């Protein structure tokens, strides 16, 4: 049978043990606090990654763009809704207890960047990255060379417009000289007609084609689509509310600087637009079944409210580029230049002013080149190809026929084996659009299309990057107080934040 033994410790030993256990639990709690701090850091990182994982599905599905939609059903930017949604998900995951149990008290988006910031820099960066992952670099280099050649021709078209105006001025001056001469001759005509025998006209006078400058000038001001489209009644009649596009809306920017990664390049961006956007002749690769506009590339060029307005403006610009290319060709044809000189001499030769005659000759050649351009654009819209600068043997129009050849509703599908198709010519026109304007119009197209599915969608509500701040709390486990840790209502509080972007 065991007997109970009485024991005792000295007061000094009791104090020593108290100090030892206090030190032990203090160290244990301090280690736990450090662990809780690391867990809070990891938790805010996971919360941010989880938040960015809720990207806008339609943008990714149709355009391979990653943005977080921060808009609500009323079309307003609403961070509170997102923060509340994330808090609710976090609470569902906070179950049970443990040595490192920590609770999320609040989440806040302290800074953010939007797709529309810095003229759509994030949108352009993501678009370039998306297309680079799908196309080889050689394709962009080949396109770049073609676009550079096309850009030179486009620059020449601006100079030719000046020559065109000079030709019209020359004809106006010639008409003024003719009127002055007729007024002078009319005073002497009655006296001379009785005293002088009547002169006979030459029996065989060469018939020359009519000067086409005036008719082509009227043609340029007309609804040109009727001459280049086989059936104008089949053109798209879709329109958008231009007053609700990004350029006409008040847009609040984000407060976070977008990282410069060197991905953006206009040539790659043009490739992206060419890949995903539709035009008059072809659909794009976006998987949408309903588009706000059918001629999306043309909208990026013209920026008008309707498909027909955009096509009209695009065709007029395309005609000027083709006119410049055709003028280069016609200046290599001596016969056509000689014929133009004969027509010019017949029209204004009575002035006896060589500069006027030469200016009108250039105007006739430009008018002839424009008529040829209409046939070229008709060919392009029918799915054919046309070189930037054609060979003399490829010339199709006859200045003697004037507008008659344009009234023939025949499909002009024959083209050179080597040439640019309609989409490639659109790339040249897109290259001439200011980059900021081009990116903004591209965002308009994407926004209007997504609205067909989600009416409240806004591109200026799409988050590209953000800094998320979380407040975490934990209860003391071993001590009621640990020096150096901020406490509120008896708990430890850890405030952590993390910054991340969809594209760094």
| pLDDT digit string, tens, across residues 481-501 | 444 445 555 678 899 999 999
Mean pLDDT of 325-331: 92
CA 350 – CA 338 distance, rounded (Å): 18
- For residue 168, give the nearest of 209, 217, 208, 210 by alpha carbon: 217
- For residue 240, give the nearest of 313, 295, 284 by alpha carbon: 295
| pLDDT digit string, tens, across residues 261-279 | 766 688 899 999 999 999 9
Distances, alpha carbon 250 to alpha carbons 58, 270, 463, in Å: 24, 27, 17
Is it the case that residue 196 has pLDDT exceeding 60?
Answer: no
Least confident stretch, 110-124, 207-221, 259-273, 485-499? 485-499
CA 343 – CA 402 distance, rounded (Å): 13
Is it the case that residue 110 has pLDDT exceeding 90?
Answer: yes
Higher local confidence (pLDDT), 63 or 184: 63
Is it the case that residue 391 has pLDDT exceeding 60?
Answer: yes
CA 56 – CA 273 distance, rounded (Å): 20
- HEC-encoded secondary structure of 192-226: HHHHCCCCCCCCCCCCCCCCCHHHHHHHHCCCCHH
CA 471 – CA 450 distance, rounded (Å): 35
Is it the case that residue 109 has pLDDT exceeding 90?
Answer: yes
CA 209 – CA 163 distance, rounded (Å): 21
pLDDT the model gives residue 201: 46
Is it the case that residue 188 has pLDDT exceeding 70?
Answer: no
pLDDT the model gives residue 400: 65
pLDDT the model gives residue 357: 86
Highest mean pLDDT, choosing among 170-179, 254-263, 282-291, 447-456: 447-456
CA 269 – CA 431 distance, rounded (Å): 10
Is it the case that residue 330 has pLDDT exceeding 80?
Answer: yes
Q: What is the mean pLDDT of the chain?
A: 84
Token pair 């030459």 is found at 202
Long-range own/partner contacts, residues 88-91 (CB < 8 A, 24 or more apart): 89/50, 90/47
Is it the case that residue 458 has pLDDT exceeding 50?
Answer: yes
Residue 439 near residue 119 (C-beta atoms within 8 A): yes
pLDDT band at 205 (very low <50, low <70, confident <90, very high): low
pLDDT band at 349 (very low <50, low <70, confident <90, very high): confident
- HEC-encoded secondary structure of 252-298: CCCCCCCCCCCCCCHHHHHHHHHHHCCCCCCCCCCCCCCCCCCCHHH
Is it the case that residue 195 has pLDDT exceeding 80?
Answer: no
Other residues' Cβ atoms within 10 Å of the Cβ of residue 478: 14
- For residue 77, give the nearest of 30, 49, 114 by alpha carbon: 114
pLDDT the model gives residue 310: 96
Let me know how long the chain is.
504
Is it the case that residue 353 has pLDDT exceeding 90?
Answer: no
- For residue 44, give the nearest of 109, 127, 130 by alpha carbon: 109
CA 441 – CA 26 distance, rounded (Å): 63
pLDDT band at 350 (very low <50, low <70, confident <90, very high): confident
């Amino acid at each position: 049978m065991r007997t109970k033994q009485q024991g005792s410790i000295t007061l000094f030993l009791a104090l020593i043990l108290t100090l030892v256990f206090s030190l032990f639990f203090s160290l244990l709690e301090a280690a736990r606090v450090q662990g809780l701090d690391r867990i809070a850091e990891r938790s805010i990182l996971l919360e941010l990654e989880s938040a960015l994982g809720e990207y806008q599905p339609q943008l990714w599905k149709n355009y391979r763009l990653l943005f977080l939609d921060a808009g609500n059903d009323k079309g307003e930017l609403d961070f509170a809704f997102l923060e509340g949604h994330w808090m609710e998900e976090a609470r569902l995951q906070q179950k049970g207890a443990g040595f490192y149990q920590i609770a999320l008290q609040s989440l806040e988006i302290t800074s953010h960047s939007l797709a529309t910031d810095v003229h759509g820099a994030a949108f352009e960066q993501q678009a370039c990255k998306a297309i680079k992952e799908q196309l080889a670099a050689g394709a962009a280099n080949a396109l770049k060379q073609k676009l550079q050649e096309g850009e030179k021709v486009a620059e020449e078209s601006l100079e030719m417009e000046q020559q065109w105006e000079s030709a019209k001025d020359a004809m106006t001056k010639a008409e003024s000289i003719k009127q002055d001469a007729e007024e002078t001759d009319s005073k002497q005509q009655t006296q001379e007609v009785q005293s002088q025998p009547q002169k006979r006209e030459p029996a065989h006078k060469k018939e020359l084609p009519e000067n086409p400058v005036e008719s082509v000038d009227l043609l340029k001001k007309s609804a040109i689509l009727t001459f280049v489209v086989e059936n104008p009644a089949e053109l798209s009649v879709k329109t958008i509310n231009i007053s609700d596009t990004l350029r006409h809306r008040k847009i609040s920017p984000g407060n976070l600087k977008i990282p410069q990664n060197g991905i953006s390049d206009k040539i790659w961006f043009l490739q992206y637009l060419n890949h995903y956007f539709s035009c008059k002749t072809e659909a794009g690769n976006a998987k949408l079944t309903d588009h706000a506009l059918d001629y999306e590339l043309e909208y990026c060029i013209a920026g008008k409210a309707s498909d027909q307005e955009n096509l009209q403006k695009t065709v007029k610009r395309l005609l000027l580029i083709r006119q410049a290319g055709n003028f280069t060709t016609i200046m290599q044809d001596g016969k056509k230049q000689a014929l133009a000189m004969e027509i010019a001499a017949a029209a204004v030769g009575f002035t006896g002013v060589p500069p006027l005659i030469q200016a009108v000759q250039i105007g006739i050649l430009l008018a002839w080149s424009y008529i040829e351009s209409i046939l070229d654009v008709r060919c392009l819209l029918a799915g054919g190809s046309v070189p930037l600068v054609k060979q003399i043997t490829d010339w199709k129009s006859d200045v003697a026929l004037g507008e008659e050849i344009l009234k023939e509703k025949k499909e002009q599908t024959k083209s050179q084996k080597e040439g640019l198709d309609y989409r490639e010519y659109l790339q040249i026109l897109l290259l001439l659009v200011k980059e900021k304007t081009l990116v903004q119009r591209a965002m308009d197209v994407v926004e209007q299309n997504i609205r067909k599915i989600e009416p409240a969608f806004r591109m200026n509500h799409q988050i590209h990057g953000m800094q998320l701040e979380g407040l975490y709390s934990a209860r003391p486990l071993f001590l009621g107080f640990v020096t150096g840790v901020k406490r509120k209502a008896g708990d430890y509080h850890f405030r952590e934040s993390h910054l991340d972007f969809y594209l760094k």
